[in-house]
Structure 1
């Protein structure tokens, strides 16, 4: 009797799996009618999100971010550069997002992932437009030396909401960033000071110790799918591939200091208008 039940259950599972493969959209729409996901998660509940700061010991700032199974690793390396003529008192950042075949079956070996440069551009645009980083804080010697932060983000598992997870990893890596100590050498060049060289410097360090990068705001995003009368968030890669209409909303959470600065600017503007 138990053998018959087991055989019946297996047959039923095979039928469900076959229906899911042959008619994926209808399969997911049936779950939408019951306000659930195929993994039994309620539509109003988000997948677990975790952050692990300092996961790369050799980096100046790093983080491992997970949203459900989607996993990205972000690492920052700081280097000294000559600032541009247009911005002699500012540093800069360079962002690169990479996807390898291990992260998704749609990424083929030997071929670059189509989504990688698109997400790289989205990340750069979002972080720059948010005003999250004071680039003047990355200046070392006006017109001669400044920091460039190389942010590399690696996708380890792509299971939906990839941009959201990559942005989360990037912001967390910047929040964990420790700017190295630098000093002037005998030729007047700015050099990074290692812990071993700390007691042998002929010149005073430009910054006495490692310091945190002050962030004026925190950027995050939410990717949703619009399908018929439904708006779904926190999607898996399967759901994204079936229901095509994706919408990503970028949000900015300002720090208290940034709010005060904006209030001051606004008050001054109001004062000038009233004076006129």
Structure 2
């Protein structure tokens, strides 16, 4: 497994060149927070918030960061807010292969390897695969080389009609789950690259051989599983996504670790037999 450095350009929350006021107003409206509520959270006044949004008052660097925190603005866009207010970016954007992130890379590699034989991977803000373990490699059996050329994209690999999609037994449900996940992220981040990816994968034709009948004795899953054919059997997984708490770097803030947990005893038994 190799950590692959990537660069993701995420659009700001509002058109550039309008100053910090309209940007902050756009984020406040997106979060559905009133000026008074934001003022109370940020220990300010509704009058001052109004003056900042209309450009009558220039907020301090500390105020920009405080408002961004209470509006849950992504780290990359916090830098955009600071630039719009005339300040230097506060958060660095360190390439993944930079020596400063050696500890991070080693930690991610140890985590992914330790999760084997279960699948796990790390993706960035537009689902570019940064790292993956052997469990993920197993799920990619049969995927053509044309889709395995770097940079790999988890959404393309999953939903492309020549990728994993034809082998996903409940593709209708799983596809709907993934598209809804992307829609929520677009609503929160207003990312043009992510929207472009969404429009691409949502337009993929859906293979006809989807949503096979459930087994005669249904398994009581505790979360929506991905049921995928592999080597003559059907494996079932539920996924969990983890991010870093309070990231202080743009690159780190946009990483997500997705782990796939066996959703039934048969899947766990099979994977553990491989790991042995």
TM over 0.5: no
Q: TM-score, normalised by structure 2?
A: 0.27
Q: Which has the higher helix share?
A: 2
Q: TM-score, normalised by structure 1?
A: 0.27
Question: Which of structures 1 and 2 has the bigger CA Rg?
Answer: 1
